[in-house]
Each structure stands twice: as structure tokens, then as C-alpha cells.
Amino acid sequence: MPHDRDPTLTDDELDTWSAFATVLEWLPPALDAPLAAGFELTHFEYGLLYALADAPERTLRLSVLADYANSSLTRLSRAVSRLEARGWVRREPDPSDGRSTLAVLTLEGLTRFDDATPAHLATLQQVIFDPLTKAQQRQLTQISRRIATAIRQQPGWQPTANAPAPGRAGESSA
């Protein structure tokens, strides 16, 4: 099958790819380490708690939670099982659709989320925001969205503009 371009990378492309690939490899453990050490969470699990804390009544269908997490239902189910075993999430049948299951963030889960958030934000500040200028942060946002769109046409999770912070411990219990 003929190609319109040389199958090798230019020096600039190789430089870009190697820098980006390094970030792809180093970022997940950098995000996981403080959460694991202090809070028995992975970054993926923290993201699930975040999505549930931000959801109405701290409840989402598992299929919606999987979409938010850019995850397969299998991976999500395993993570929810770990969170459920710790008492931070519970599953309930969806009363509006008996075929669906809801994930509900418990008060203990909300407390764990609240406790872990300062450490997570400090990590984000240290590894993402402090090394970049404000202009570079905006560029990183645009670059990340373009690459995400090249991978998958459907958009990934994006925070709601001007959304209030996720619920906090002490609010209505679940």
C-alpha cells in the first residue's frame, strides 16, 4: 500500500514525540504516588470519586461514569468494586431502568475525596501548572483537545464552566 510520506519521523517530529511519550509514561505514576501513599487511591479512582462528588445526589449510572472516566465498563467495574469494598461507593439498581446500575458516593467516600483533594491539587500544581506559564497552560489545553479529537471524535470529559466545587463532607449524606 503506497504512502504519501516517508515512514520515518523528521528530527522535529521525533523530538516532539519523545518528549510527549515521556510525559505519557511518567505522568500516571506521578499522579498515583501521593494518592496511594496517603489515601489508598489511584488517580483513576480519585477521578471516579470526583465525578460522583460533582454529580447530583452524588450518583451516576455506571455507564455514564465509564464515559466520564474514558473507561471500559470492565475496568470501571473493577475500580468500583475496590471502592465499594472500602465503603466509599455503593451500587444500587437504577429505579428508572432496572437494567442499569447506579454508583453512589457514600459519606465515607466523600470524606476520603475531600481529604485527598489538597494532596492531588498540590501534585497538579507541581507537575503541570508551576512549570508552565499561563499562555503555555492555554496552549496545552488546546493541544490536548486536538490530540483527543484525532484519537476519538466524541469529546472526553470536560468540567462545567464556573461549576461549584464538588460536594463536601457534612452536606446531605448518602
Contact 76, 66 (CB under 8 A): yes
Whole-model pTM?
Answer: 0.84
pLDDT, mean of residues 135-147:
95
Q: Which CATH architecture has domain 11-151?
A: Orthogonal Bundle (1.10)
Taking CA atoms, 94 is separated from 6, 122, 132, 173, in Å, by 53, 36, 43, 19
Helices (H), the chain: 11-39, 43-54, 62-68, 73-85, 107-124, 134-151
Res. 17 pLDDT band, cuts 50 70 90: very high
Q: Residue 92: pLDDT above 90?
A: yes
Tens-digit pLDDT profile for residues 52-64: 999 999 999 999 9
Beta-bridge mates of residue 61? 102
Sorted by where each begins, the domain ranges of the chain are: 11-151
Mean pLDDT check: name the lowest of 3-17, 20-34, 100-114, 145-159: 145-159
Predicted pLDDT at 110: 98
Task: Name the grid cell of 34.
Answer: 501521593
